[in-house]
Amino acid sequence: MNLPKLCIITIGNVTSALVLEITRALQFQVELIEIPFTYADDHEEWQHWKSSEPQAFGGIGAGAAGCLLGHRDAWEKFSRSGFEMAIILESDARLTNYGKRYLGSLISNVQTFHWNILHLGTHETMANVFSARNFISLSLRIVAKQLWERIYLKTKSPEFAEMHFPFSTHAYLIRKEAAAYLSRQEINFMAPIDVTLNSYSQVKANRILRCRTPLVIQRTDHPSQTKRLGR
Protein backbone atom coordinates (compact mmCIF):
# COMPACT_ATOMS: atom_id res chain seq x y z
CA MET A 1 0.00 0.00 0.00
CA ASN A 2 1.29 3.46 -0.91
CA LEU A 3 1.10 5.28 2.44
CA PRO A 4 1.13 9.08 2.67
CA LYS A 5 4.25 10.72 4.10
CA LEU A 6 2.59 11.88 7.29
CA CYS A 7 3.82 13.08 10.69
CA ILE A 8 2.04 14.06 13.89
CA ILE A 9 3.08 17.34 15.48
CA THR A 10 2.02 17.92 19.08
CA ILE A 11 1.89 21.37 20.66
CA GLY A 12 1.98 21.52 24.45
CA ASN A 13 1.39 18.62 26.82
CA VAL A 14 -0.35 16.21 24.47
CA THR A 15 -0.72 12.85 26.23
CA SER A 16 0.94 9.73 24.89
CA ALA A 17 -2.48 8.06 25.14
CA LEU A 18 -3.92 10.45 22.55
CA VAL A 19 -0.96 9.96 20.21
CA LEU A 20 -1.38 6.19 20.55
CA GLU A 21 -5.11 6.46 19.79
CA ILE A 22 -4.40 8.55 16.68
CA THR A 23 -1.74 6.07 15.52
CA ARG A 24 -4.13 3.15 16.01
CA ALA A 25 -6.83 4.95 14.03
CA LEU A 26 -4.33 5.54 11.20
CA GLN A 27 -3.29 1.88 11.28
CA PHE A 28 0.32 2.68 10.37
CA GLN A 29 3.30 4.12 12.23
CA VAL A 30 4.03 7.84 11.88
CA GLU A 31 6.85 10.02 13.18
CA LEU A 32 6.11 12.29 16.13
CA ILE A 33 7.42 15.87 16.35
CA GLU A 34 6.90 17.49 19.76
CA ILE A 35 6.62 21.26 20.20
CA PRO A 36 6.55 22.39 23.87
CA PHE A 37 4.07 25.08 24.82
CA THR A 38 5.62 28.47 24.06
CA TYR A 39 5.55 31.01 26.88
CA ALA A 40 5.22 34.28 25.01
CA ASP A 41 6.85 36.35 27.78
CA ASP A 42 10.11 34.49 27.05
CA HIS A 43 9.89 35.04 23.28
CA GLU A 44 11.78 37.86 21.56
CA GLU A 45 9.06 38.72 19.04
CA TRP A 46 6.37 38.99 21.72
CA GLN A 47 8.65 41.09 23.95
CA HIS A 48 9.29 43.43 21.04
CA TRP A 49 5.55 43.73 20.35
CA LYS A 50 4.72 44.53 23.99
CA SER A 51 7.57 47.02 24.38
CA SER A 52 7.08 48.85 21.08
CA GLU A 53 5.30 52.20 20.78
CA PRO A 54 1.75 52.14 22.17
CA GLN A 55 -0.62 50.35 19.79
CA ALA A 56 -4.04 51.62 18.81
CA PHE A 57 -5.34 48.17 19.78
CA GLY A 58 -4.03 45.95 22.56
CA GLY A 59 -3.78 42.74 20.59
CA ILE A 60 -3.98 39.21 21.96
CA GLY A 61 -3.02 38.02 25.42
CA ALA A 62 0.02 35.99 26.43
CA GLY A 63 -1.81 32.66 26.14
CA ALA A 64 -3.03 33.26 22.60
CA ALA A 65 0.39 34.64 21.68
CA GLY A 66 2.07 31.48 22.96
CA CYS A 67 -0.39 29.37 20.98
CA LEU A 68 0.33 31.36 17.82
CA LEU A 69 4.09 31.07 18.29
CA GLY A 70 3.78 27.32 18.91
CA HIS A 71 1.91 26.77 15.65
CA ARG A 72 4.41 28.87 13.72
CA ASP A 73 7.19 26.74 15.19
CA ALA A 74 5.28 23.62 14.12
CA TRP A 75 4.85 24.96 10.55
CA GLU A 76 8.55 25.84 10.30
CA LYS A 77 9.73 22.43 11.53
CA PHE A 78 7.25 20.65 9.27
CA SER A 79 8.25 22.69 6.20
CA ARG A 80 11.89 21.60 6.73
CA SER A 81 10.96 17.94 7.14
CA GLY A 82 10.62 15.22 4.53
CA PHE A 83 6.88 14.80 5.12
CA GLU A 84 4.02 15.80 2.82
CA MET A 85 1.28 16.22 5.44
CA ALA A 86 1.06 16.77 9.18
CA ILE A 87 -1.64 16.32 11.77
CA ILE A 88 -1.22 19.12 14.28
CA LEU A 89 -2.62 18.39 17.75
CA GLU A 90 -2.99 20.57 20.84
CA SER A 91 -3.21 19.28 24.40
CA ASP A 92 -7.00 19.67 24.60
CA ALA A 93 -7.77 17.44 21.60
CA ARG A 94 -9.82 14.24 21.96
CA LEU A 95 -10.45 11.61 19.29
CA THR A 96 -14.14 10.83 18.77
CA ASN A 97 -15.57 7.35 18.15
CA TYR A 98 -16.27 8.53 14.59
CA GLY A 99 -12.61 9.51 14.31
CA LYS A 100 -11.47 6.09 15.50
CA ARG A 101 -13.44 4.54 12.63
CA TYR A 102 -12.64 6.96 9.82
CA LEU A 103 -9.40 8.88 10.44
CA GLY A 104 -7.28 6.26 8.69
CA SER A 105 -9.43 6.16 5.55
CA LEU A 106 -9.60 9.97 5.47
CA ILE A 107 -5.80 10.24 5.48
CA SER A 108 -5.59 7.68 2.67
CA ASN A 109 -8.18 9.50 0.55
CA VAL A 110 -7.25 13.18 0.99
CA GLN A 111 -4.49 12.85 -1.58
CA THR A 112 -7.17 12.60 -4.27
CA PHE A 113 -8.54 16.15 -3.93
CA HIS A 114 -7.28 19.72 -3.62
CA TRP A 115 -6.90 21.20 -0.15
CA ASN A 116 -4.36 23.09 1.97
CA ILE A 117 -5.78 22.79 5.50
CA LEU A 118 -8.42 20.38 6.73
CA HIS A 119 -9.87 20.97 10.19
CA LEU A 120 -10.60 17.62 11.83
CA GLY A 121 -13.29 18.65 14.27
CA THR A 122 -14.91 21.41 16.24
CA HIS A 123 -14.75 23.19 19.58
CA GLU A 124 -18.46 22.53 20.23
CA THR A 125 -19.54 19.37 22.03
CA MET A 126 -22.90 17.72 21.37
CA ALA A 127 -24.21 19.13 24.67
CA ASN A 128 -23.27 22.66 23.61
CA VAL A 129 -24.71 22.34 20.12
CA PHE A 130 -28.06 20.97 21.24
CA SER A 131 -28.52 23.02 24.38
CA ALA A 132 -31.91 24.61 25.05
CA ARG A 133 -30.33 28.04 24.57
CA ASN A 134 -29.14 27.15 21.07
CA PHE A 135 -32.50 25.77 20.04
CA ILE A 136 -34.09 29.04 21.11
CA SER A 137 -31.51 31.38 19.58
CA LEU A 138 -30.58 29.51 16.39
CA SER A 139 -32.68 29.27 13.27
CA LEU A 140 -34.36 25.99 12.33
CA ARG A 141 -32.03 25.79 9.33
CA ILE A 142 -28.92 25.87 11.53
CA VAL A 143 -30.38 23.33 13.97
CA ALA A 144 -31.28 21.02 11.07
CA LYS A 145 -27.73 21.37 9.69
CA GLN A 146 -26.25 20.41 13.05
CA LEU A 147 -28.58 17.40 13.35
CA TRP A 148 -27.59 16.34 9.82
CA GLU A 149 -23.85 16.61 10.51
CA ARG A 150 -23.76 15.27 14.07
CA ILE A 151 -26.24 12.40 13.74
CA TYR A 152 -27.03 11.39 10.15
CA LEU A 153 -23.53 11.84 8.69
CA LYS A 154 -22.10 9.63 11.43
CA THR A 155 -23.32 6.72 9.32
CA LYS A 156 -21.32 7.93 6.30
CA SER A 157 -17.69 8.33 5.33
CA PRO A 158 -16.28 11.80 6.11
CA GLU A 159 -17.71 14.69 4.11
CA PHE A 160 -16.23 18.18 3.97
CA ALA A 161 -17.48 21.74 4.17
CA GLU A 162 -15.59 24.27 2.06
CA MET A 163 -14.54 27.70 3.29
CA HIS A 164 -14.83 26.92 6.99
CA PHE A 165 -12.24 26.73 9.77
CA PRO A 166 -13.78 26.52 13.30
CA PHE A 167 -12.58 28.81 16.05
CA SER A 168 -10.11 26.31 17.46
CA THR A 169 -6.75 24.87 16.38
CA HIS A 170 -6.90 21.72 18.53
CA ALA A 171 -6.62 19.37 15.52
CA TYR A 172 -6.05 19.98 11.81
CA LEU A 173 -4.31 18.43 8.83
CA ILE A 174 -2.02 20.66 6.78
CA ARG A 175 0.01 20.26 3.61
CA LYS A 176 3.73 21.03 3.61
CA GLU A 177 3.42 23.81 0.99
CA ALA A 178 0.75 25.55 3.05
CA ALA A 179 2.79 25.30 6.25
CA ALA A 180 5.86 26.72 4.49
CA TYR A 181 3.83 29.65 3.17
CA LEU A 182 2.21 30.43 6.53
CA SER A 183 5.53 30.27 8.38
CA ARG A 184 6.98 32.93 6.07
CA GLN A 185 4.26 35.49 6.81
CA GLU A 186 5.01 38.37 9.16
CA ILE A 187 3.83 37.54 12.66
CA ASN A 188 0.73 39.42 13.76
CA PHE A 189 -0.29 39.55 17.42
CA MET A 190 -3.56 41.34 16.69
CA ALA A 191 -5.71 38.19 16.45
CA PRO A 192 -5.52 34.58 17.71
CA ILE A 193 -4.38 31.97 15.23
CA ASP A 194 -7.79 30.32 14.90
CA VAL A 195 -9.41 33.65 14.05
CA THR A 196 -6.73 34.32 11.43
CA LEU A 197 -7.11 30.89 9.82
CA ASN A 198 -10.89 31.25 9.89
CA SER A 199 -10.54 34.50 7.93
CA TYR A 200 -8.28 32.76 5.39
CA SER A 201 -10.91 30.05 4.99
CA GLN A 202 -13.45 32.56 3.70
CA VAL A 203 -11.50 32.76 0.44
CA LYS A 204 -12.30 29.72 -1.69
CA ALA A 205 -8.94 29.77 -3.49
CA ASN A 206 -7.18 29.18 -0.14
CA ARG A 207 -8.70 25.67 -0.12
CA ILE A 208 -9.44 25.34 3.59
CA LEU A 209 -11.98 22.68 4.57
CA ARG A 210 -13.68 21.27 7.65
CA CYS A 211 -14.70 17.68 8.30
CA ARG A 212 -18.47 17.98 8.81
CA THR A 213 -18.70 15.20 11.41
CA PRO A 214 -15.92 15.72 14.00
CA LEU A 215 -13.07 13.24 13.98
CA VAL A 216 -11.35 15.10 16.81
CA ILE A 217 -13.12 17.39 19.26
CA GLN A 218 -11.84 20.00 21.71
CA ARG A 219 -11.97 18.89 25.33
CA THR A 220 -13.77 21.15 27.80
CA ASP A 221 -13.07 19.28 31.05
CA HIS A 222 -9.92 21.23 31.86
CA PRO A 223 -8.69 24.73 30.94
CA SER A 224 -5.88 24.96 28.39
CA GLN A 225 -2.68 26.95 28.90
CA THR A 226 -4.03 29.48 26.40
CA LYS A 227 -7.08 30.12 28.58
CA ARG A 228 -5.03 30.18 31.77
CA LEU A 229 -2.61 32.78 30.45
CA GLY A 230 -5.19 34.84 28.58
CA ARG A 231 -6.59 34.86 25.07
Asked whether residue 135 is domain-assigned, the answer is no
Distance CA 121, CA 212 (A): 8
How high is the pLDDT of residue 56? 80
CA-based end-to-end distance of the chain = 43
Asked whether residue 45 is domain-assigned, the answer is yes
Asked whether residue 217 is domain-assigned, the answer is yes
How high is the pLDDT of residue 94? 92
**Residue 202: pLDDT above 90?**
yes
Region of poorest pLDDT, from 22-36, 81-95, 102-116, 217-231: 217-231
Q: Tell me the per-residue pLDDT of 160-180, one tens digit each, with 9 for 90 and over.
A: 999 999 999 999 999 999 999
Asked whether residue 138 is domain-assigned, the answer is no
Considering the entire predicted model, what is its pTM? 0.88
Asked whether residue 20 is domain-assigned, the answer is yes
Asked whether residue 149 is domain-assigned, the answer is no
Query: Could you tell me the residue range of the domain that residue 78 belongs to?
Result: 6-127+158-229
What DSSP designation does 55 have? Answer: P
Indicate the Cα dihedral angle 18, 86, 47, 62, nearest 10°.
Answer: -40
Domain total of the chain: 1
* Average pLDDT score over residue span 184-197: 94
* Count of C-beta atoms within a 10 Å radius of residue 82: 8
pLDDT band at 55 (very low <50, low <70, confident <90, very high): confident
| Whether 60 contacts 189, CB under 8 Å | yes
Distance CA 133, CA 205 (A): 35
| Whether 104 contacts 215, CB under 8 Å | no
Q: Which of 227, 224, 163, 152 is nearest to 197 (CA)?
A: 163
**Residue 140: pLDDT above 90?**
no
Supply the CATH number for residue 98's domain. Answer: 3.90.550
Region of poorest pLDDT, from 32-36, 41-45, 142-146: 142-146
Asked whether residue 98 is domain-assigned, the answer is yes
Asked whether residue 141 is domain-assigned, the answer is no
Distance CA 62, CA 72 (A): 15
Tell me the residue length of the chain.
231
